[in-house]
Amino acid sequence: MYISCWFCVMESQQNGPLCLKNEPKIVIIGAGISGLAAAEHLAKSGFSDFVILEASGRTGGRIYTVELVDKVILHFDEAITEPDVFRLELLWDSDNVEINDLRHTWYRKIYSFEIIYDNVLVVSHFCAHIKVCQILNMVIFPELYIVHSCMFIIAWLSGKEALYMESLTEEQVGQDLVEVLKKILRKTDIPQPSKVTRTRWGNNPNTRGSYSFIQVGATVQDIEVLADPIVGSESDKPQIMFAGEATHLSMYSTTHGALLTGYREAKRIVDMYSH
């Protein structure tokens, strides 16, 4: 198992800043988000005797674009699918591409649309809201009224198609995806989205890689073992500490999890050496 960032703490004889008892020398291995977060927390807490060692030529670790994944979010003011539809899976026929250039094929990289409804209101038919529901033309089921006041459709795409999408205007992206939705839903009356939001990671120089997962047979207890600091033989204090996304009990695999583990380990040091 790979641990993204670790710390080596060496006891120092010199006194550090006022708030510190014997500021230790600290080596942070890895300048991914967890290592940088730890450094930030240490600096803010008055520590200055630390270095970050990074094997690659740049900071940011896996936050870096090599293979590109983008997301496009279409905002609709009204629901355009049935209320019980939460995902649309797409199967593209690669033999029947009418015009074989990215302008007409970029959206074929999208394999699914995730649907999120906002302001969902579920009312039992005994409820006094019946009239309101009828006036608003809501979907009426025998037992429930389900009201969707607006919805978001999220599409993921990768590779050169994603990079091409980034070169289009948001309006064009919206128009192209509405055409796709019309085809797969077999509807002609889908309005243009009120807003299109999309990532443009391919145009951002600071974002890369893979992330940890819990293998079949493993448990969160294994993460606890990974995150356990090592206490040196000549000290009762931990001397090697482990951060990185794979050491967060619930938010492993994520940037925010990595960030929090950096803060966690830095705080451990601060607590050990502050008055």
Ligand X SMILES: Cc1cc2nc3c(=O)[nH]c(=O)nc-3n(C[C@H](O)[C@H](O)[C@H](O)COP(=O)(O)OP(=O)(O)OC[C@H]3O[C@@H](n4cnc5c(N)ncnc54)[C@H](O)[C@@H]3O)c2cc1C
| Positions that interact with ligand X (CB under 6 A) | 4-5, 29-35, 53-56, 61-63, 69, 208-211, 244-245, 253-256, 258
Give CA separation, 91 vs 103, 111, 163, in Å: 19, 7, 21
Q: Report in angstroms how near the CB of residue 50 gets to ligand X at its nearest.
A: 14
Q: Report in angstroms how near the CB of residue 172 gets to ligand X at its nearest.
A: 24
Q: Report in angstroms how near the CB of residue 29 gets to ligand X at its nearest.
A: 5
Q: Report in angstroms how near the CB of residue 31 gets to ligand X at its nearest.
A: 5
Closer to ligand X by Cβ: residue 55 or 99: 55
Closer to ligand X by Cβ: residue 113 or 242: 242
Give the Cα separation of 48 and 53 in Å (integer). 15
Closer to ligand X by Cβ: residue 238 or 257: 257
Closer to ligand X by Cβ: residue 9 or 146: 9
Q: How deeply is 273 buried, as exposed, middle or buried, from its count of CB atoms within 10 A (0-12, 13-18, 19+)?
A: buried
Q: Report in angstroms how near the CB of residue 23 gets to ligand X at its nearest.
A: 23
Around 36, how many Cα atoms within 13 Å sit in the side-chain half-sphere? 13
Closer to ligand X by Cβ: residue 63 or 90: 63
